[in-house]
Amino acid sequence: MTLDATDRRIVTALQEGLPLVSAPYAEIARRLDMDEAALVERLARMKARGAIRRIAAAPNHYRLGMTANGMTVWDVADDRVAELGALVGALPFVTHCYERPRACPDWPYNLFAMVHGTSRGEVEEKRARIAELLGDACAACDILYSTRILKKAGLRLRQKG
Amino acid sequence: MTDMTDLTEQDRAILNAIQDDLPLSHAPFAGMAAGLGMSEADLLSRIRWLKDQGIITRFGPFFDASAMGGAFCLCAIAVPEEDFDAVMIQVNARPEVAHNYQRTHRLNMWFVLATETPEGIDAAADAIEGETGLKVRRFPKLQEFFIGFRVAA
């Protein structure tokens, strides 16, 4: 799926976020010199195509006291990873969940689930709940805590046309 | 800095409500305010306050850049401890590196490459290998599982 020039202008205008005013779409439309209805129609289309997942607040886990962040990684039987990945992803404390390729011999893990908690102890408890869910389908697991954010840049879309 | 304990019950209710998808209506905050039993103006000023305090980092659309034609790949390097900061500077200097974390593992540097095209991923990873002399392990997503996103406040 590609975005046309107008979609890209909209994405660029919304990269910093939606203005916190009573009629935010009308305000963005005014900045882009468009009709509010035309803007809303394009946003609805981008949502339908998955280019926009939702319009919402991004909570700061650290500021909400969720200072422990563990990337849990699991070696799950290939024929069960789709079914079990969906269950792990649906757990309320899992914020990202992906199947990724193994890099054997030293990286047998194919399921990655990010877990946040107020302490490492809490993250460990959550990890145990995932282990329980995976049961015999899981041959090995590990947890990688983040100790330092080295870089964090937002999405930047290059301007085309 | 505001501590979590400074958040009122109403702030917590707001934090939960604003993680839901905002409707594409003319005055989308009005209905949310009504549901929270407050005025639209009070709700908007409180959301601004949450943002000023850094309790939310952003309010707006969550874009899926891969659905917009870009390519992404999680990568990892096993960096010798004594070289860590030098390698970090080399890796972070590349515009394709969207974010980068130090983690507790032999593979201790984990970053996401974001490029305009799928071919750009290998080009950027190869360039980092050339510059650092270290192998860049590539973990592209094969499948993404639905997640709830919500952080209960």
Residues B39 and B69 placed together within one structural domain of the fold: no
Residues B19 and B71 placed together within one structural domain of the fold: no
pLDDT band at A66; cut points 50, 70, 90: confident
Q: Can you state the percent helix, strand and coil of chain B, rounding each to 5?
A: 40, 20, 35
Task: Look at residue B3 in the predicted model and tell me its pLDDT.
Answer: 57
Residue B109 included in any domain: yes
CB–CB contact B59 A3 (8 Å): no
Residues B72 and B134 placed together within one structural domain of the fold: yes
What is the nearest CA distance from A80 to chain B, expressed in angstroms? 13
Residues B40 and B71 placed together within one structural domain of the fold: no
Residue B95 included in any domain: yes
Residues B95 and B38 placed together within one structural domain of the fold: no
Number of independent structural domains in chain B? 2
Rounded Cα gap, residues A72 and A93, in angstroms: 12
What is the nearest CA distance from A39 to chain B, expressed in angstroms? 10
- Give the β-pairing of A52-59 and B143-144: unpaired
Mean pLDDT of the region B15-24: 94
Residue B33 included in any domain: yes
Preferred mutation among B40, B51, B55, B68 to probe A, highest tally of A CBs within 10 A: B68
Which runs of consecutive H residues, i.e. helices, occur in chain B?
A: 9-17, 28-36, 40-52, 84-92, 118-132
A15, amino acid identity = Q
- CATH number of the CATH domain containing B86: 3.30.70.3460
Residue B112 included in any domain: yes
CB–CB contact B62 A94 (8 Å): no
Could you report the per-residue pLDDT of A76-118, keeping only the tens digit for each?
Answer: 999 999 999 999 998 988 988 999 999 988 899 999 999 988 9
Residue B153 included in any domain: no
Residue B58 included in any domain: no
Residues B71 and B45 placed together within one structural domain of the fold: no
Rounded Cα gap, residues A148 and B102, in angstroms: 5
pLDDT band at B52; cut points 50, 70, 90: very high
Please work out, in degrees rounded to the nearest 5, the angle formed at the alpha carbon of residue A85 by the alpha carbons of A84 and A86: 90
Residues B78 and B131 placed together within one structural domain of the fold: yes
Torsion of CA B28, A91, B73, A152, to 10 degrees: 60
ipTM above 0.85, yes or no: no
CB–CB contact B63 A52 (8 Å): yes
| Contact status of A24 with chain B (Cβ, < 8 Å) | yes
Could you report the per-residue pLDDT of B76-104, keeping only the tens digit for each?
Answer: 999 999 999 999 999 999 999 988 999 99
CB–CB contact B40 A57 (8 Å): no
Domain that holds residue B45: 8-52
Q: Which region holds residue A56: left if phi is over 0, alpha if psi is between -120 and 50, else beta?
A: beta
Task: Look at residue B69 in the predicted model and tell me its pLDDT.
Answer: 73
Residues B39 and B71 placed together within one structural domain of the fold: no
For residue A153, the chain B residues in CB contact (below 8 A) are 97-99
At a CB cut-off of 8 Å and minimum separation 6, what does A7 contact? A42, A46, A51
Residue B2 included in any domain: no
Residues B44 and B87 placed together within one structural domain of the fold: no
Residue B152 included in any domain: no
- The full length of chain A comes to 161
Residues B100 and B71 placed together within one structural domain of the fold: yes
Rounded Cα gap, residues B6 and A119, in angstroms: 20
Question: The tokens of B4 are what?
Answer: 């979590």
